[in-house]
Amino acid sequence: MPVIFYRKSLFVFLLLGWLPVFVYAQSGLININTANLEELETLSRVGPTIAQRIIDGRPYALIEDISRVQGIGGPGSKSYEDIKDFITIGESSTNTENSADNVNQDTSKTTQTSSVQSSSGGTSAHYSATPVTSVSSSTKTSVGAGRDRVGVVGSPLEFKVETNVAYNRNNIFSWNLGDGNIRGGDVFSHTYEYPGEYVVVLHASFPDGDAVARVNVKIVAPELTITFASGERIEITNGSAQEVNLFGRGLFYEGKTYIFPKDTILKGKQSISFSSNMTGLVPASSDGVYILVLGNNMATNDFTAQIAEQKQKKINTISTELSEIKEKLALYSEAEEVVVKPEETIEAKLTVAEEPEEGPETVLTASVVSGSEKSGFWGWLKRFFLRTER
């Protein structure tokens, strides 16, 4: 009897001694970065499907990141509040640099053509389901395509990847430039051929995940003219209200070309003079001086087509101005004829007058002579420009 009582007492003692360990094991926090399916299913309202989504959404930098998983609501929802006090992210995950940010995606992670809503409320119509890093504020992997740009037809623009991810030759960058062109690489230049507002989309692929960024590019048509040229300087005027970057263009005169350096900017409705000491061009006048588009390669090869086009523009401009002058001269000439021409009216006035004195007759004669002189001058101008005889 004492032996049996002793054994029972020892069993109870051992049971009471290990009971806190069992209780702690049962009440321990679930590490959502390392737990397996069975461990995650012990959480309230978490079944096999949601448990798998939790695993697919790893790593988590904060406990609140669990709200990204489809089927678990955000802070304040019952499903979130039921599990938040029973999960942990562990100590090692706090230093994780890259965390997934696939908002409201299923386990297959299939991309689809739709607007992706970020946690900040912004939307994007790009094809991939990968979040736009310039819109989403919770993405740890930062990828950008630069600031919004304003460019000019024919002038190259530089595009460069901006990211906090260390260089790795396994990183892949693909650019859709919005005009039908696709480019790859972390830095390059591109020239747009037509004006418009383009959306440039950057797709970045890293060993730890993907990211998407976008930037707006506005391309305007230049209105550049050479308003003055001499042996000392050449003046260029920007006729548009938008500032223009002259990079990608050059001045051409008698076989010599001066290439504008990067970021040579001419503000809207303004003029800039370039010294002959700088350009090396010494024209006698604006005739024969041209602004040429060089493009990306900056090669000064055959500019015959551009020169011919600009010559034709000058001819058209001069023809238009001459036509306007002829129309104005014709109107002035007709107005003078209406005032001076009616000789019958003058003769009638002379007949009605009773023996006019010398004074009035002299004045009237002078008036007629003056009108005749004017008519002769305008008639000469009219014959010169209109090639007609009165």
Instruction: Encode 158-168: b = buried (16+ Cβ within 10 Å), e = exposed.
Output: ebebebebeee
Q: Out of 220, 247, 273, pick the residue that ends a domain.
A: 220
Is the same domain home to 236 and 215?
Answer: no
pLDDT of residue 76: 80
Q: How far is CA 242 from CA 251, 291, 293, 329, in A?
A: 21, 18, 18, 36
Task: Decide: pTM greater than 0.75.
Answer: no
pLDDT of residue 16: 54
pLDDT of residue 267: 93
Residue 254 lies in a domain: yes
Beta-strand relationship, 30-31 and 87-88: parallel
Range of the domain at 191: 143-220
The dihedrals phi and psi of 38, each to the nearest 5 degrees, come to -60, -40
CB burial of residue 75 (10 Å; 0-12, 13-18, 19+): exposed
Residue 102 lies in a domain: no
pLDDT of residue 117: 34
pLDDT of residue 44: 84
pLDDT of residue 183: 95
Is the same domain home to 296 and 327?
Answer: no
When computed from its CA atoms, the radius of gyration of the chain, rounded to whole angstroms, is 42
Compute the residue count for the chain.
Answer: 390
Is the same domain home to 291 and 321?
Answer: no
Q: Out of 301, 336, 358, pick the residue that ends a domain.
A: 301
Number of domains in the chain: 4
Q: Out of 242, 272, 301, pick the residue that ends a domain.
A: 301
The DSSP symbol for 55 reads H
Is the same domain home to 207 and 231?
Answer: no
- Note the helical H segments in 256-357: 276-279, 304-340, 343-352
Residue 273 lies in a domain: yes
pLDDT of residue 303: 64
Residue 355 lies in a domain: yes
Is the same domain home to 7 and 84?
Answer: yes
Cβ atoms 240, 220 nearer than 8 A: yes
CA dihedral 298, 301, 305, 307 (to 10 degrees): 80
Place of tokens 């939307």: 123
pLDDT of residue 319: 78
Residue 306 lies in a domain: no
Residue 108 lies in a domain: no
Q: CA 26, 31, 34, 36 torsion: positive or negative?
A: positive
Strand, coil or helix: what is 253? strand
Is the same domain home to 7 and 90?
Answer: yes
Residue 112 lies in a domain: no
Is the same domain home to 211 and 180?
Answer: yes
Is the same domain home to 292 and 347?
Answer: no
- For each of the chain's 390 residues, which pLDDT tens digit applies? 555 555 656 555 555 555 444 444 444 788 888 888 888 888 888 888 888 888 888 888 888 888 888 888 888 888 888 888 888 887 543 333 443 344 334 333 333 333 333 333 344 454 444 455 554 444 567 889 989 999 999 889 999 999 888 878 889 999 999 999 999 999 999 999 999 999 999 999 988 888 999 999 999 998 999 999 999 999 999 998 889 999 889 999 988 999 999 889 999 999 999 999 999 999 999 888 999 888 654 444 556 666 666 667 767 777 787 888 888 887 777 666 655 555 555 554 555 445 555 554 444 444 444 444 445 666 666 666 665 444
Is the same domain home to 229 and 190?
Answer: no
Could you tell me the CATH number of the domain that includes residue 215?
Answer: 2.60.40.10
Residue 311 lies in a domain: no
* The pair of three-digit structure tokens given for residue 65, joined into one six-digit string: 């990141």
The dihedrals phi and psi of 255, each to the nearest 5 degrees, come to 85, -5
Could you tell me the CATH number of the domain that includes residue 50?
Answer: 1.10.150.320
Is the same domain home to 291 and 368?
Answer: no
Is the same domain home to 50 and 72?
Answer: yes
Is the same domain home to 43 and 89?
Answer: yes
